[in-house]
Structure 1
Amino acid sequence: MTAPAPVPDEVVGWLLEGDPAVRWQVLRDLLDAPEDVWRAERARVATEGWGARLLALQDDDGLWAGGAFFPSGFTRRQWEDEGQPWTATAWAVHDLRDLGLDPASDAARRTVRLVGANARWDEGDQPFWDGEVEECINGRTLADGCWFGVDMSALAERLAGEVQPDGGWNCERAEGSVRSSFDSTINVLEGLAAFEAATGGTAATRAARRSGEEFLLARGLFRRASTGEPADPSYLLLHHPARFHHDVLRGLDHFRVAAALDRAAPDGASHAVPDPRPDPRLAGAVDVLRGKRRPDGRWALERELRGRTWFGVEDGVGEPSRWLTMQALRVLRWWDAATA
């Protein structure tokens, strides 16, 4: 693996003017800062910017908006009028993980304890950290729990046993679906990767991760297996926050993480892949991502999701996004170094 190309100084400066949630990842993933430096920046997430704002909106019982997946009292009519709301506990916890809230912080420990004690899923009244029935929800819950130090072994093994015949996952499996979806699969893959990073995984969870990755790779991260055409035009549009939706950047960032997991496999482990090169079937998605880079070296937000939010973190569709730019640069940095 060769040394990656440096990020232009003007782009780095612009990124470092952003939220602590962006800055710590820039320091770690683009500038190779020492661990104590990026960890110190990550600690600011609890007290500054987006992370602090979201924590300030937490209720005394540890929940957000009074519910697990939906705000308390949210109605079907409101869903039809507004779209999926993003203000309830599951989304807040997921956002805090994405932002990088230090799992050892007082705020994180309090949240884990209170959410575990008080949050129950709307679907079946299950305890929050047990998950519910939909794979995309459970994939995110698995990732969140692993980040915050919760024992998520049971949910990881359950997801490993719910692989569809074509290799991925679908939230409508319980309704009889036997075909995987891109959206469900990327959510579960991120959860299994988080479980593997936290615990080393098991033979079953590692096999499930590779199965889901093959589902995406066989489709180039965005194409129909039958025709080669885009499975959904939205998969080519960059969005943030990602919520439960797939796009090419989210998929590529997973494979960047997966490559690091493979390199870090325990000595002698049967699943170890020493310094693997990226799968060439990712090249088309990389080309799509590279083609979205603006002349100023930044990437713009291309899609906003409907629904209630506590506050905005982007400047609007068409405007440059620090989050997407950071994410795109670290993907290309990994790809270019690994394929040189």
Structure 2
Amino acid sequence: MAPTDVIPWLLDTDPALRWQVERDLLDAPAVQWEATRARIPHEGFGAALLEKQDPATGLWAGGAFFPAGYLEDPESATLPGQPWTATTWSLTTLREWGMDPAPLRERDTAAMLARTAHWEYDPSLPYWGGEVDVCINAMTLANGLWLGADVEPLATWFAEHTMAEGGWNCEAVEGSTRASFHSTLNALRALHEHERATGGTDALRAAQRAGEEYLLQRRLTRRLSTGELVGPWVDHFLYPPRHIYTALRALDHFRHAGRRDPRMEDAIAMVEDAQQADGTWLQQHVLPGAVWFEVDVRVGEPSPWLTMQALRVLRWWHAG
């Protein structure tokens, strides 16, 4: 099939995906895709995930980053992956689906979490102040902006923790001085949301440009020192990606930020090469760990989420 032939297949999906197809691939009128997006909290994936929130605490699975009791359970150390069910992951999922935060604001979620959520790393740290992990802080910053929490002190944390190479690394707290593709992309996504929501600051805009340059110098795909692929994950496209870097996810960030650069061509070629003869992209990896419910297909099957993301990235790129 030609890529346009997958559109009916993409439209026959959950509102969390369908509205993005209407807006980003079909240029549907705003009244149409906004109506589809408004269905997210009332049906399908969005409604199901909202039902998992504890109305008394605002938490999911009783914890901030991990479910309650997970780190104290000796058997958890033998399980593959980690759970993806706790509060930070659940909020991030709803936000990235594009759900209007109104239902969560009506529940006073931000204020409840300020009272009830405690970081497993250090329970004395306030939830909306973040902790020491770049990826956790990135999700917290973006989620806080979405819910109307005061996260400005957390935003400044990113400017203060930029590494010499221009990016970030979640392992900095353990002594690493080298930036990470994964951490840098997650930080950039959050800082872009901060700039959109608040107008940003000179310091944070400089941090964003430095982080983007870190990735672009490496063509979004390669080690600067050797020119080798930075890792097998770079072209192993997956949904949900959680915190994992891929060339597709990086390109989607730059699309959203409205920044094109010829150094993205290697990443574009990876996306194009992964398209199947029927116009779809396959799920290439699934992160292990407990989930509330499945939102995409198994490894080796055509993924509606990846297909939508790849098509809109390529549409954006070639339109330029």
Alpha-carbon distance in structure 2 between the residues aligned to 1:19 and 1:70:
27
Contact 2:145 2:197 in 1 (8 A): yes
1:69 maps to 65
Matched position secondary structure for 1:172: helix
Opposite residue 86 of structure 2, the aligned amino acid is: A
**Offset at residue 300 of structure 1 (A):** 1.0
Alpha-carbon distance in structure 1 between the residues aligned to 2:306 and 2:252:
11
Unaligned 5+ segments in structure 1 are: 1-5, 260-275
Contact 1:168 1:215 in 2 (8 A): yes
Alignment of 1:1-340 (within 5 A): 8=4, 10-60=5-55, 61-74=57-70, 75=73, 77-103=75-101, 105-110=102-107, 111-125=109-123, 126-259=125-258, 278-338=260-320
**Offset at residue 76 of structure 1 (A):** 5.2
Seq. identity, %: 51
Alpha-carbon distance in structure 2 between the residues aligned to 1:165 and 1:323:
35
Matched position secondary structure for 2:294: coil
Alpha-carbon distance in structure 1 between the residues aligned to 2:229 and 2:214:
15
**Offset at residue 147 of structure 1 (A):** 2.5
Matched position secondary structure for 1:198: helix
Alpha-carbon distance in structure 2 between the residues aligned to 1:41 and 1:116:
31
Q: Deviations over 1:198-243 (max 9, x none)?
A: 1111101111011111111111112111111111101110011111
Contact 1:67 1:89 in 2 (8 A): yes
Contact 2:188 2:208 in 1 (8 A): yes
Alpha-carbon distance in structure 1 between the residues aligned to 2:106 and 2:214:
36
Opposite residue 62 of structure 1, the aligned amino acid is: G
Count, aligned residues: 314
Unaligned 5+ segments in structure 2 are: none
Matched position secondary structure for 1:82: coil
Q: Deviations over 1:264-309 (max 9, x none)?
A: xxxxxxxxxxxx6x21110000000011111111111100001111
Q: TM-score, normalised by structure 1?
A: 0.89
Q: Deviations over 1:28-61 (max 9, x none)?
A: 1111222222111111110111111111111121
Alpha-carbon distance in structure 2 between the residues aligned to 1:323 and 1:137:
23
Q: TM-score, normalised by structure 2?
A: 0.94
